[in-house]
Amino acid sequence: MKFAEINKKFTEKVAEYIAKGYYFNTATMSGHQGEVGKVDLTDGKEIIRITLERMSGVEGIDERHPFWYRGVELVVGKSADNVKPNKNSTMDIIWTNKLEVIYKEQFYQVDDNADWYVTRDEAFEAYNLRRERRRSRYTFEDKVFPEEAKNAVVSFMKRQPRCKGVRVQDITKVIKKTRVSMFSEEEKIQYIVECKGKTYKLH
């Protein structure tokens, strides 16, 4: 669903309580606690807060692939603070994080740049699909050249610091490393020479 539909759900929840006889408790609605929006309602005995809050976090699928998420949650809760309804005082504050939660519905954003919200399971499925697509673009390949390649790099090795006396038999192997990032389709190639327990990049 789009955020417009979440706005409608928020409105419907407010209308539901108004239909039960609740009306606005305006004095406790001033101030801001970081919410997207909030409404305080009372029946003359208790105060109900309906709020739309931003949410974000991470769930550990495993150490290498945490599930990062963000979205909004619609919360209905009773005031747990000792605040009386119908008072014209901005000194009485209802703290949203202390509400006695009656109802909660969470909407997970499919992508940071997308105006589309889904359930937690759908968001998790979309995350896994994105991860698999990134992995399919990832290339990790090492090619070891034949023994003849050692002869071709001897002169290069002799130009390296403290390597003037290098001989062909000192060279372990010559490798071509090919990498394609999970986040980019750019191919990166490096040529590596292993010699006397050290590695040298050919350039």
DSSP 119-184: -HHHHHHHHHHHHHHHHHT-EEEEEEPPTHHHHHHHHHHHTSTT-TT--GGGEEEEEEEEEE-SS-
Least confident stretch, 144-153, 164-173, 178-187? 178-187
> Which phi and psi (to 5°) does residue 24 adopt?
-70, 135
Q: Checking DSSP bridges between strand 100-109 and strand 37-42, what pairing results, if any?
A: unpaired
Domain ranges of the chain: 3-136, 139-202
Q: In this model, does residue 105 exceed pLDDT 90?
A: yes
Instruction: State pTM to two decimals.
Output: 0.64
CB atoms within 10 A of CB 34: 8
Q: State the chain's mean pLDDT as an integer.
A: 88
Name the nearest CA neighbour of 5 among 114, 107, 101, 150. Answer: 107
For 110-147, write each residue's pLDDT tens digit.
Answer: 887 789 999 988 888 887 787 777 666 666 778 899 99
CA distance 163 to 193: 13
Name the nearest CA neighbour of 69 among 110, 102, 113, 28. Answer: 110
Give residue 131's pLDDT.
72
Torsion of CA 10, 33, 47, 30, to 10 degrees: -100
Average pLDDT estimate for 168-182: 84
